[in-house]
Amino acid sequence: MKFKLFGNLDCPDWFLSLLATVSTISTESALSLCKVAVDKIYERELDWDSVDEIAEKEGLDLHKLKEVLGCLHSIAMNSTRFGLSSLQLSQELTMLGLPKEISDGVAEHLASLDNLRARLVALNPKKDTIKSSSYKLFHVPLSSTDSAAPQPVVQLNLKIGQSTHEASDRTCDIEIPSDKLRFMRSELMSAYEVLQKSS
């Protein structure tokens, strides 16, 4: 079954394992730890004394505590990344086996964070972008030692814009045999189609 929480893909087994641990604690503790997971995203100072109290109350050792926080962190990240509404998130978490009270509480808390998406965008590193490209096709002459005709070579010239304003644009020249370029293009087109279907 496909879930929007995972980009319209199947739920991974590791997440189900973590979710099973979250299901064992009370709704109050789950919501408190959800707030801790969100505070971690915002890089706020964490109240570890409260976290220790919750862990002791729920009988969570360090490993289980990390599982709960990791699961709630993944829920916050994925629900924001894939644009789930509060209702969608609650329904999907319930379908995955989380008690409805916890599902509703986590979904409502995350829905109240208007600037969480902006925070995640700010955390993503800015990547260099390709501003322009050009290519030349070179036919390699056949020599007497060649057992087969050499593949033409494509020279790509890329103009890359830097992610920082201070740095100037740079150029990058790449030479690649035409058959490998065709294969690479085919693979990229397949990946693009998969991304389009999952968006």
- Alpha-carbon span 18 to 81, nearest angstrom: 20
What are the respective helix, strand and coil percentages of the chain, to the nearest 5?
55, 15, 30
Q: What is the mean pLDDT of the chain?
A: 86
Instruction: State pLDDT tens for residues 128-181.
Output: 677 888 888 888 776 667 666 677 888 888 888 765 555 577 888 888 888 888
**Is beta strand 9-10 parallel, antiparallel or unpaired with respect to 170-177?**
unpaired
CA-to-CA distance for 155 and 187, rounded, in angstroms? 19
Amino acid residing at 40: K
Q: Are 131 and 159 in contact (CB under 8 A)?
A: yes
Overall average pLDDT of the 39-55 stretch: 88
Both tokens assigned to 48? 């570890």
Count Cβ atoms within 10 A of the Cβ of residue 70 and give its class: 0-12 exposed, 13-18 middle, 19 or more buried.
middle
DSSP 142-174: P-TT-SSPPPPEEEEEEEEE-SSSSSPPEEEEE
* Amino acid in the structure at residue 177: P
User: Is-contact 90 107, C-beta < 8 A?
Assistant: yes
| Sole residue written with tokens 């002459």 | 141
- How far apart are the C-alpha atoms of 95 and 137, rounded to whole Å? 54
What values do phi and psi take at 58, rounded to 5? -90, 0
Phi, psi of 40 (to 5 degrees): -65, -40
What pLDDT does residue 184 have? 86
pLDDT reading at 16 higher than 60: yes
